Chain A
């Protein structure tokens, strides 16, 4: 009996290998999944990566990366060059096989149900590749067909994508002759053609001029309301402009996962109060201002005819309140013409988070 069932399963596996080769080959790569599956069951989201690993030979490009993106979220994917951003995106889109872990798109596992998972996704690869010898419209019609659209449906989808990406002027042009900005938009049009619930965009604003960048961001923001989107980028202002959540990876490891505000809060400057005072010198200010509650340190940034700019930083676990500073100065009857709280700077945080190793060496 058992021998019989085993033989049956074996047959199924062999048949699977034949019908679905070469992707069927991954049948041989077995790893325990019981624990992972229960984890998936608990979370709900359109994109889920769980302990994803990718190694090329002996080097580990992506190491135990887990995150989740829900519908209505735009996830900013940050990291220095070579940190594993593109590799992770290529695994999510099913281009690269995983070395370990699991990725789910909607209800489908990208390795077990690649076709169903891929149907839910639109993908803009890095450098926006497209078939150079085709015209824009022929290329988009080809993609529509491959995406399973036919006749009127395909025509309408192509027209809509052309309108959305402002490609009307170049619709008959051969892709090879397009400028970089247009090429990028053609590839983006390809990604949104089938109105997918999941969008994976690898550096979508790369090579665009400032106007196009702005437009692309507005587009992503608008689409982010109804889709789950992952955007990788080098441009930090973009994260503040469009992302509802940020993850940072460095050397293949996830080092931050939170909202842009939380990321900003990690800046050493975040929460500092800046004040510019007239009629008093630096020494006076340094002596007097620490009396304000919760102020740990007073630094002078600038001294000039317009006044002395001082930066107040808080004691650990405390915050300097601008209102208290205001009241304190009023009580002293000091003149000041500037008082604000620093938001923190993203590039500062980014550098701190992603270059911990090199920073450590410097301090030694």
Chain B
């Protein structure tokens, strides 16, 4: 645990040592603002909630989180520091979790910087605090999922561009699986209802939506956490198989 934290600290420091972190934060905040107020018609809805804010997160994260995760392992492989890291007295699991946690904390910081949204809603009306809280939790978990997936694709290649594009595509699939256009196609093909529901159940949107409404279902938590655990585990397998 200690070692994982040491690695997380180093990784986090390296985010802020380069312009990447600042560029990411600015773009993330500008885009969330733009989508919420312009595309989401925040004012016209006349509704004291963050629904028009959260609804864009699956799409925003799809593009932005892989930008954070793509360097996690590609960079180490390209620079040769992977050899240094894996000859230190730490387990691969500590290294993988440490790096993941660093990225997740960074995304958490980005999310915290959107808190003025909450103040705005409180200033304008009398919102229900519950859905906001679960919405933020859901958003954070979803960011974790995307990050774990882009960490996995970055373990696969030393090329950051390939890592980025692959993880965007995987995240896109995870988002689209629950949307009516996709589920309708499945229904048209005559897929049994159970299969359609299963496909929709794989979608992050499906699980995130219920959390936006303020429903904290243990199944949603399990979904997000197991997706993270799976991607992390796969990262370990990929890194090990690359060395043998």
- Interface positions of A (Cβ within 8 A of B): 20-23, 25, 90, 93-97, 99, 114-116, 118-119, 121, 123, 125-127, 129-134, 138, 142-143, 145-148, 187, 190
Q: Which residue of B lies closest to A120 (CB)?
A: B89
Report A-chain residues with C-beta under 8 Å of the C-beta of B233. 21-22
Report B-chain residues with C-beta under 8 Å of the C-beta of A121. 87
A25 touches B83 (CB 8 A): no
Question: Is B3 an interface residue, CB under 8 A from the partner?
Answer: yes
Say whether chain A's binding surface is mostly helix, strand, loop, or mixed: loop
Smallest beta-carbon distance B90→chain A, Å:
6
B88 touches A147 (CB 8 A): yes
Say whether chain B's binding surface is mostly helix, strand, loop, or mixed: helix
The distance in angstroms between the C-alpha atoms of A274 and B88, with both chains bound, is 53
B87 touches A21 (CB 8 A): no
B89 touches A118 (CB 8 A): yes
B236 touches A143 (CB 8 A): no
A97 touches B244 (CB 8 A): yes
B17 touches A125 (CB 8 A): no
The distance in angstroms between the C-alpha atoms of A99 and B243, with both chains bound, is 11
Smallest beta-carbon distance A86→chain B, Å:
10
Cβ contacts B1-29/A at 8 Å (1 or 0 each): 00100110010011001100000000000
B91 touches A118 (CB 8 A): no
Question: Is B185 an interface residue, CB under 8 A from the partner?
Answer: no
Smallest beta-carbon distance B43→chain A, Å:
42
B84 touches A190 (CB 8 A): yes
Chain B contact-residue range equals 20 to 34
Given contacts A23-B92, A131-B81, A134-B17, contact A123 B240 (CB under 8 A): no
Given contacts A133-B18, A138-B13, contact A90 B83 (CB under 8 A): yes
Smallest beta-carbon distance A121→chain B, Å:
7
Report A-chain residues with C-beta under 8 Å of the C-beta of B87. 93-95, 118, 121, 123, 125
Question: Is B113 an interface residue, CB under 8 A from the partner?
Answer: no
A25 touches B17 (CB 8 A): no
The distance in angstroms between the C-alpha atoms of A25 and B86, with both chains bound, is 16
Report B-chain residues with C-beta under 8 Å of the C-beta of A148. 89
Smallest beta-carbon distance B40→chain A, Å:
37
Determine which of B18, B89, B240, B244 lies in contact with A146 in the assembled complex, contact meaning CB atoms within 8 Å.
B89
The distance in angstroms between the C-alpha atoms of A115 and B90, with both chains bound, is 6
Report B-chain residues with C-beta under 8 Å of the C-beta of A147. 88-89
A134 touches B236 (CB 8 A): no
Please name 20 further chain A to chain B contacts, defined as beta carbons within 8 Å, in addition to the given A22-B239, A25-B240, A97-B244, sorted by A numbering.
A21-B93, A22-B237, A23-B92, A23-B240, A90-B83, A95-B83, A95-B87, A95-B243, A115-B90, A118-B88, A125-B83, A129-B81, A129-B84, A130-B81, A134-B14, A138-B13, A142-B6, A143-B88, A145-B6, A190-B84
